[in-house]
Amino acid sequence: MTATLDRLTRIIRERRVADPSQSYVAKLTARGRGKIAQKVGEEATEAVIAAMTNDREEIVKEAADLIFHLGILLADMDLSYDDVMAELDRRDGVSGLVEKAARPKD
């Protein structure tokens, strides 16, 4: 899995600076972070719909789309899946309820 995410991260970073007429990643990046975030939301919604209709084939496709678009958003914020994995590693062994309770209240 790590090799796949590493490869995806590399491809996204390379394509962000490509010609927007030749690269979807470059075109989406040129439209700005708001549009990138909107695409992440759309893909998340589509994944939820696939889950709610118990469509296993579709959830896999939508999850891939979500991971791909999240990678574009992370790159736009100069982050990567390594940063996300580090946070997951930090949480390892900590109950989700305990971790959530420790978050600052807004």
Average pLDDT over residues 42-53: 98
The single residue listed with the structure tokens 């919604």 is 45
| CATH topology classification for 2-102 | Helix Hairpins (1.10.287)
Q: What is the mean pLDDT of residues 51-74?
A: 98
pLDDT category, 76, cuts 50, 70, 90? Answer: very high
Which of 46-50, 68-72, 78-82, 94-98 shows the lowest mean pLDDT across its residues? 94-98
Residue 9 has pLDDT above 80, yes or no: yes
For residue 28, give every residue at least 6 positions away whose Cβ sits within 8 Å of its Cβ, in sequence order, or none.
Answer: 35, 36, 39, 72
Sketch the domain layout of the chain as residue ranges. 2-102
pTM, whole model, 2 decimals? Answer: 0.86
